[in-house]
Amino acid sequence: MNEVKLAVLGGKGTGKSALTVRFLTKRFIGEYASNFESIYNKHLCLEGKQLNLEIYDPCSQSQKVKVSLTSELHWADGFVIVYDISDRSSFAFAKALIHRIREPQTSHWKRALEAAVLLVGNKQDLCHVREVGWEEGQRLAQDKRCQFCELSAADQCLEVEIMFIRLIKDILTNLKLKEKRRPSGSKSMAKLINNVFGKRRKSV
């Protein structure tokens, strides 16, 4: 069974938990602040394959907290980065998160390929007090090689499900490419033997 690990990140009050629970249970829980991080588990059948999905939802953090993501970068196969379209500071925080994920120093990240990232503009139901335009979110996503969508966890159950499934499919594609790039055990052993004994032959 394939295992897929997602981290849902964003500023305080952006609706990270609301999006996660909406996807897992189809219920809208409203906004709440949590002092505890959670990892949710869900079994999925996608394109005829059984998947074990883990979603990491961190505790609410101030947007002033320094962005490190060290543990998340090593744990997750993909990221959902959430901002509130009615809060420009949350968009700036989302941009900082994506920059951290995409910066060259993260080449030590556990996966051989670039992480799958989805940027989400949440609370589309608050368009009347919008501070971040759709075009801004789309442009950031294009610049940082991310998927992008804008929606409302409160009003759109199907759209939230589609959003998560689309990202999971991207992750599965990445995992397949990683497997293809990994040399077989026999080839690896042959290369090791050649390196060791080949050098010895040259020194004789």
- What's the pLDDT tens digit per position in 37-95? 789 999 999 988 899 999 999 866 555 555 677 788 889 999 999 999 999 999 999 99
Which residues lie closer than 8 Å to 72 by C-beta, 6 or more apart? Answer: 7, 9, 56, 79
pLDDT reported for residue 32: 60
Q: Which is more confident, 30 or 106?
A: 30
Q: Token digits for 131?
A: 């501070």
pLDDT, mean of residues 128-144: 98
Q: Is the pLDDT of residue 187 over 60?
A: no
For the chain, first and last CA: distance in Å?
Answer: 50
For 76-90, letters b (16+ CB in 10 Å) and e give bbbbbbbbbbbbeeb
Which residues lie closer than 8 Å to 190 by C-beta, 6 or more apart? Answer: none
pLDDT reported for residue 105: 61
pLDDT reported for residue 34: 61
Question: Could you tell me the residue ranges of all domains in the chain?
Answer: 2-198
Q: Which residues pair with 80 in a beta bridge?
A: 8, 118
pLDDT reported for residue 117: 97
Report the CATH fold assignment for 2-198.
Rossmann fold (3.40.50)
Reported as a pLDDT band with limits 50, 70 and 90, residue 195 is low
Q: Is the pLDDT of residue 194 over 60?
A: no
Reported as a pLDDT band with limits 50, 70 and 90, residue 140 is very high
